[in-house]
A and B are shown apart, each in its own frame.
Chain A
Amino acid sequence: MGDLNGLLSTVGAGSVDAAGGGAGPWWAVLVPLLPLLSAVLCGVCAAAKVKSKLPAWITVGCLAGSFVTAVMMFMSIQGHGALTTTAFEWINFNWTAPGGEAQSFIANFGLRLDNLTGLWMLFVTGLATLIALYASEYMSHDVGKGYSRFFFAFSLFVFAMACLVMADNLILLYLGWEGVGLCSYLLIGYFYTKPSAVAAAKKAFIVNRIGDLFLALGIMLCYVHFGSVEYAVIFEKTAPYLAMLQEGRIGDIPALVQLIPALLMIGAFGKSAQLPLYVWLPDAMEGPTPVSALIHAATMVTAGVFLIARTYPLFLVSEYALPVVAWIGALTALLAATIGMAQFDIKRIMAYSTVSQLGYMFCGLAVLSATGGVFHVVTHAFFKALLFLCCGAVMHGFAGQLDLRKLSGVMSMKGWGIVGVGMLVGCLNLAGFPFTAGYFSKDMILAESFVTPGMAPIGWILLLTAGLTAYYTFRVFFRVFVGPQHAEPGEEFHAEDPAHGADVAEEEHFAEEARHAHGHSARGHDGHPHGDHAHGNHGHFHPHAPGWAINTVLAILAVGSLLAAGLYFMGDHGGFVGSKLHGTTAEIVTTAEGHTAAAYLGNEPHAGEHSFLGLGDPHKVMYYVSAVVGFIGIAIAAVLHGPKGLGGLMLGSRTEAARSKADNLLPAMGPIAKWAQHKWYVDEFYDLVIYRPLRGISHVFRLIDQFVVDGFVALAGWLPRAIGRSVRPLQNGELHGYAVGMAGGIAVLLLIVLLAVS
């Protein structure tokens, strides 16, 4: 996969103007600037209290323009290495160090245009445009209220994401990094009157801060070691280390350089919701669904993956960084999948699947399948956006209902066909059904993990996770979209507040609700045998089917998800993505002996003699194995959750919404199911390990503040008062006392003068 020369030429390209390098097209700056313009206009709309859908059309228009520009940019940079477009000089400090050495700190508002950037911007701007279109309808109940605010933050997010991805230095990347964090905070807390949304926004922001701190430290360390934050310089100075790696002299690589990826990695884990910092992402689903789709599934959370792909040379020269990334990714994938299996909130299940799939991407990068990782980012972006938007459509139509026990047979309802088909396409992709895009991208990662030395356990974990993913994905599909028609409205029914508040109550009273779920649902079913169900005191509930904007977007995304599979067959280096990545920093360095990264040096070489369980080359065998695993997962889901009927196609026997065969298995599983429902008590664990000790320390400091610091302050007030109290009797109000004091005082003063003079 690539060769060192290719990489080195890329590295050189960025630096000055070696072959293929140089200045990129000036209009590339429109990619970030159009969303910024849109944000400004939406801000003006908010200030002018616009009461129409104008902000949505501004946003859609600007983002579409941005997308077109990104496509043009992507076309124009083909055949060039990495181009640089500098919008303006941003930070430029030059000074002379005490030793007489000239030093500088340069971070321009410059864009590094290469295929990695291009790929990312294509799906970021493309998806953003589609989702903005979707949101124009989805958020329609907020027109005139938070509508402008929503699209302002939405546009600002795209601008920040573009900065992050297109930056030619780490400082601008950091600006974008914090910018997307800020927009994420603003959008999760969009329904700011809802306590749970505010709490989720704070949680996301604070957890991200931890990662951002380490990213900032990594950037600082980069500057300390390389003397620059510009990618061109950094990669130029990394090249000698890559040469050492090639020669097998990894001992000569400074330890400091090995520390940089460790710090960057933690930043990436924070933004991309990996262990141990994944806890914010499921809660982030408090935001409006388009936000969940765009930010918390498709784009922002892949920023960590992008960071690692962008600074891949640094990771390659580190001995420990890639295995750590691999293990973290694999464990996150497994853990999130197990949690996802036990949840009932479909949006939350999708959130956990996002966490799980992000784990896949990290593994892909870590097992030297950068192509697989990036390919999975692209395919995942499409099908996860599709899945979220389908969930959002369901939620929109059923008044905030997200509980899969209270919905059934949605696909067969009038007007919900496109949603159902879209959901099916998304689920197939996510489950890795053969010949879908997800199937190919996941296979590349799986296969490569069995090939990479010492990474076979990662492969087994990921394979297991693939099966679990197929199960929980189709659990949602079988329960919600097929089977007998049944629907209960969510909490927004007849509610003024448009927030989808089901999550909160469900989270807080989870156990209780689970206990009562059966009886409650059964009673409702008995009373209203048909799909249009309603509580007696709420009147009749009619779900409203999605309109043209939502359906159009879903259709485009569904088609796109299917067509994305075609990317696999384009190009010669591992499909379209692989061929495009060829020559970017995300390419793998292979030595003459087949050695790859510092971490895998010394293990058995990467060669064709690998075989998967004696069946042959993992690259080929994995097509079948993963397909089988996926089928097994889908089959289990069908048995446990599938409805009766459908021409004997379905193996299941579910006849009502709230109950399925899986419930019979629960007692057998003992407490495990309950633990999984409660997300393995990770939040509680963090609460115990981090929150409570901090709180305890805060209490201690509060006591110190109260008694020691305040004590000093109080002493400053008490002391004069005490002195005053003790000398107060002197002021007895007797005129004579004062006169004696005055006369005696003068006498004593004169006496002192007298003694001093003589």
Chain B
Amino acid sequence: MEQFIHPLVLYTACILGAAGICLALPRRAGGPQLIGAFIAAAAGGIAILAMSLKAGPAALPSIYFYIFAAVALGGALRVITHPRPVYAALYFILTIIATAGLFLILSAEFMAFALIIVYAGAILITYLFVIMLAMQAPAEGEVEVLTEYDTKAREPLAATVAGFLLLAVLTTMMFRGTAEIAPVATAAQVDSLLDDLPRKVERVLENHNMLEEGEKLALAAPDGGPAIDGAAGIIWVEGGAEPRIIERADWPEEMSVKNIEGLGFNLLRDHPGTIEIAGVILLMAMLGAVVLSRKQVQMDEEAKMRQARLLSGDTSGEAGA
């Protein structure tokens, strides 16, 4: 079984990365955090470089991949090494934005923007709120004192060994397997989604003036088959002199299936239950959060009675007393 990159290189990179992160983790004395970060970055660089060399020019990812990957991993490293939680959260936003970039490269536009909106926009702001809530701002002229649990990592060595052992094993398995998996779908198959989008097809054809006078999308092929066959690349139009075919080669760019269309079909047609389940999960989480964060008010019996009287507007008891 051929390794994608040489194990020696991979494990060297893993060990280097472990050492680097171990050094980079926060310590009370300050320590060689910067050096550690460099070593970790170098390790990541070595691994990616080795992969790129192996992949060759044809399969080389776009240059943006390197930029986004570097930003994402660097941000992630800073999240776990920065002693101030606020900064860690901000670096996490950086990581999210870089990840969204990676999603874009992977043609997952919807997910990229959803990630930024939901994660960076909503979740991380909540985190920041809580962080702010949990920390007292230093008074005027006072030097801000970081808490001990923020400035001192707990057993950094054990943590990094465990983490990088997992990383080494994961990457080893990955690099063994990736060469063997083959893409099961072709671009033509993606176009089969057009079968369910006759309106879009007709609109695109009209926009690009590909329909003669009186012509419109056929209801069915002359032989009784479907009018649109995305997989075969055939669209039947009729209403003119005689029904004719518009081949894939003649299709305008706009005709190709968009990410949002594919995702919509997948989510709502292929997996209709997921969105419901997600809704239920979110509802439950909301309920849980409400219950958990509610403040328990301790009232004695007398206070309760007073409260009850107050609410009912009944003052006769007091008058009687």
A/B touching: CB–CB < 8 A: yes
- State the A residues within 8 Å of B (CB): 736, 740, 743-744, 746-748, 750-751, 753-754, 758
Interchain residue pairs A-B with the least CB separation, the first 8: A747-B166, A747-B165, A750-B169, A744-B162, A743-B162, A740-B162, A751-B169, A747-B169
Give the contacting residue for B173; candidates A743, A744, A750; CB below 8 A. Answer: A750
Query: How many angstroms between the C-alpha atoms of A758 and B159 in the bound complex?
Result: 27
Query: How many angstroms between the C-alpha atoms of A606 and B203 in the bound complex?
Result: 141
List A contacts of B163 (CB < 8 A): 743
B158 nearest in chain A by CB position: A740
Contact A736 B173 (CB under 8 A): no
B290 at the interface (CB under 8 A from A): no
Contact B158 A758 (CB under 8 A): no
Query: How many angstroms between the C-alpha atoms of A748 and B169 in the bound complex?
Result: 9
B190 at the interface (CB under 8 A from A): no
A-B contact pairs, 9 of them (CB 8 A): A736-B155, A736-B159, A743-B162, A744-B165, A746-B166, A748-B165, A750-B166, A750-B173, A753-B173
A748 nearest in chain B by CB position: B165
B310 at the interface (CB under 8 A from A): no
> Can you add 15 more A-B contacts, CB < 8 Å, to A750-B173, A754-B173?
A736-B155, A740-B158, A740-B159, A743-B162, A743-B166, A744-B162, A744-B165, A744-B166, A746-B166, A747-B162, A748-B165, A750-B169, A751-B165, A751-B169, A754-B172
Query: How many angstroms between the C-alpha atoms of A743 and B162 in the bound complex?
Result: 6
List B contacts of A746 (CB < 8 A): 166
B170 nearest in chain A by CB position: A750
Say how far B200's CB is from chain A's closest CB, in angstroms. Answer: 45
B304 at the interface (CB under 8 A from A): no
Say how far A268's CB is from chain B's closest CB, in angstroms. Answer: 86
B59 at the interface (CB under 8 A from A): no
Q: Is the interface of A mostly helix, strand, loop or mixed?
A: helix
List A contacts of B170 (CB < 8 A): 750
B154 at the interface (CB under 8 A from A): yes
List A contacts of B169 (CB < 8 A): 747, 750-751, 754
List B contacts of A740 (CB < 8 A): 155, 158-159, 162
Query: How many angstroms between the C-alpha atoms of A746 and B158 in the bound complex?
Result: 15
Query: How many angstroms between the C-alpha atoms of A736 and B154 in the bound complex?
Result: 8
List B contacts of A743 (CB < 8 A): 162-163, 166
B303 at the interface (CB under 8 A from A): no
B1 at the interface (CB under 8 A from A): yes
List A contacts of B154 (CB < 8 A): 736
- State the B residues within 8 Å of A (CB): 1, 154-155, 158-159, 162-163, 165-166, 169-170, 172-173
List A contacts of B1 (CB < 8 A): 758
List B contacts of A748 (CB < 8 A): 165
Say how far A741's CB is from chain B's closest CB, in angstroms. Answer: 9
List B contacts of A754 (CB < 8 A): 169, 172-173
List B contacts of A758 (CB < 8 A): 1
A736 nearest in chain B by CB position: B154
List A contacts of B159 (CB < 8 A): 736, 740
Q: Which of A736, A740, A747, A750 has the most CB of B within 10 A?
A: A747
Query: How many angstroms between the C-alpha atoms of A637 and B109 in the bound complex?
Result: 131
Query: How many angstroms between the C-alpha atoms of A754 and B1 in the bound complex?
Result: 12
Query: How many angstroms between the C-alpha atoms of A746 and B163 in the bound complex?
Result: 10
Say how far A744's CB is from chain B's closest CB, in angstroms. Answer: 4
B166 nearest in chain A by CB position: A747
List A contacts of B172 (CB < 8 A): 754
B167 nearest in chain A by CB position: A747
Query: How many angstroms between the C-alpha atoms of A740 and B160 in the bound complex?
Result: 10
List B contacts of A736 (CB < 8 A): 154-155, 159
Query: How many angstroms between the C-alpha atoms of A753 and B154 in the bound complex?
Result: 30
Query: How many angstroms between the C-alpha atoms of A162 and B173 in the bound complex?
Result: 91
List B contacts of A751 (CB < 8 A): 165, 169
Query: How many angstroms between the C-alpha atoms of A748 and B159 in the bound complex?
Result: 15
Say how far B154's CB is from chain A's closest CB, in angstroms. Answer: 6
Say how far A173's CB is from chain B's closest CB, in angstroms. Answer: 81
Q: Which of B155, B159, B162 has the most CB of A within 10 A?
A: B162
Query: How many angstroms between the C-alpha atoms of A744 and B173 in the bound complex?
Result: 16
List A contacts of B166 (CB < 8 A): 743-744, 746-747, 750
Query: How many angstroms between the C-alpha atoms of A353 and B10 in the bound complex?
Result: 108
Query: How many angstroms between the C-alpha atoms of A584 and B239 in the bound complex?
Result: 128
List A contacts of B155 (CB < 8 A): 736, 740
B172 nearest in chain A by CB position: A754
Query: How many angstroms between the C-alpha atoms of A751 and B11 in the bound complex?
Result: 14
Say how far A745's CB is from chain B's closest CB, in angstroms. Answer: 9
A735 nearest in chain B by CB position: B154
Query: How many angstroms between the C-alpha atoms of A740 and B154 in the bound complex?
Result: 11
Say how far A749's CB is from chain B's closest CB, in angstroms. Answer: 9
Query: How many angstroms between the C-alpha atoms of A578 and B192 in the bound complex?
Result: 121
Query: How many angstroms between the C-alpha atoms of A751 and B165 in the bound complex?
Result: 9
A751 nearest in chain B by CB position: B169
Query: How many angstroms between the C-alpha atoms of A747 and B163 in the bound complex?
Result: 8
Query: How many angstroms between the C-alpha atoms of A346 and B311 in the bound complex?
Result: 97
B155 nearest in chain A by CB position: A736
A734 nearest in chain B by CB position: B154
Say how far A735's CB is from chain B's closest CB, in angstroms. Answer: 10
List B contacts of A744 (CB < 8 A): 162, 165-166
List B contacts of A747 (CB < 8 A): 162, 165-166, 169
Say how far A733's CB is from chain B's closest CB, in angstroms. Answer: 13
Query: How many angstroms between the C-alpha atoms of A748 and B161 in the bound complex?
Result: 12
Query: How many angstroms between the C-alpha atoms of A758 and B175 in the bound complex?
Result: 13
A741 nearest in chain B by CB position: B162
B165 nearest in chain A by CB position: A747
Say how far A305's CB is from chain B's closest CB, in angstroms. Answer: 91
Query: How many angstroms between the C-alpha atoms of A488 and B158 in the bound complex?
Result: 99
Query: How many angstroms between the C-alpha atoms of A754 and B155 in the bound complex?
Result: 28
Query: How many angstroms between the C-alpha atoms of A92 and B173 in the bound complex?
Result: 77
List B contacts of A750 (CB < 8 A): 166, 169-170, 173
Query: How many angstroms between the C-alpha atoms of A537 and B299 in the bound complex?
Result: 76
Query: How many angstroms between the C-alpha atoms of A736 and B165 in the bound complex?
Result: 17
Say how far B70's CB is from chain A's closest CB, in angstroms. Answer: 25
Q: Which of B155, B159, B169 has the most CB of A within 10 A?
A: B169
Query: How many angstroms between the C-alpha atoms of A736 and B156 in the bound complex?
Result: 11
Query: How many angstroms between the C-alpha atoms of A744 and B154 in the bound complex?
Result: 16
Query: How many angstroms between the C-alpha atoms of A736 and B158 in the bound complex?
Result: 10
Say how far A729's CB is from chain B's closest CB, in angstroms. Answer: 16
Say how far B207's CB is from chain A's closest CB, in angstroms. Answer: 53
Query: How many angstroms between the C-alpha atoms of A750 and B167 in the bound complex?
Result: 11
List A contacts of B158 (CB < 8 A): 740
Query: How many angstroms between the C-alpha atoms of A750 and B177 in the bound complex?
Result: 14
Say how far B109's CB is from chain A's closest CB, in angstroms. Answer: 33
Say how far B49's CB is from chain A's closest CB, in angstroms. Answer: 24
Query: How many angstroms between the C-alpha atoms of A736 and B169 in the bound complex?
Result: 21
Query: How many angstroms between the C-alpha atoms of A744 and B161 in the bound complex?
Result: 9
Query: How many angstroms between the C-alpha atoms of A744 and B1 in the bound complex?
Result: 26
List A contacts of B162 (CB < 8 A): 740, 743-744, 747
Query: How many angstroms between the C-alpha atoms of A750 and B168 in the bound complex?
Result: 10
List B contacts of A753 (CB < 8 A): 173
Query: How many angstroms between the C-alpha atoms of A221 and B170 in the bound complex?
Result: 80
Say how far A751's CB is from chain B's closest CB, in angstroms. Answer: 5
Q: Which of A743, A753, A758 has the most CB of B within 10 A?
A: A743
Query: How many angstroms between the C-alpha atoms of A746 and B166 in the bound complex?
Result: 7
B159 nearest in chain A by CB position: A740
Say how far A732's CB is from chain B's closest CB, in angstroms. Answer: 12
Query: How many angstroms between the C-alpha atoms of A744 and B159 in the bound complex?
Result: 9
Say how far B316's CB is from chain A's closest CB, in angstroms. Answer: 55
A758 nearest in chain B by CB position: B1
Say how far A742's CB is from chain B's closest CB, in angstroms. Answer: 9
Query: How many angstroms between the C-alpha atoms of A744 and B166 in the bound complex?
Result: 7
A744 nearest in chain B by CB position: B162
A750 nearest in chain B by CB position: B169
Query: How many angstroms between the C-alpha atoms of A344 and B159 in the bound complex?
Result: 96
Query: How many angstroms between the C-alpha atoms of A751 and B155 in the bound complex?
Result: 23
Say how far B123's CB is from chain A's closest CB, in angstroms. Answer: 21
Query: How many angstroms between the C-alpha atoms of A751 and B173 in the bound complex?
Result: 9
B154 nearest in chain A by CB position: A736
Query: How many angstroms between the C-alpha atoms of A736 and B172 in the bound complex?
Result: 26
Say how far B143's CB is from chain A's closest CB, in angstroms. Answer: 29
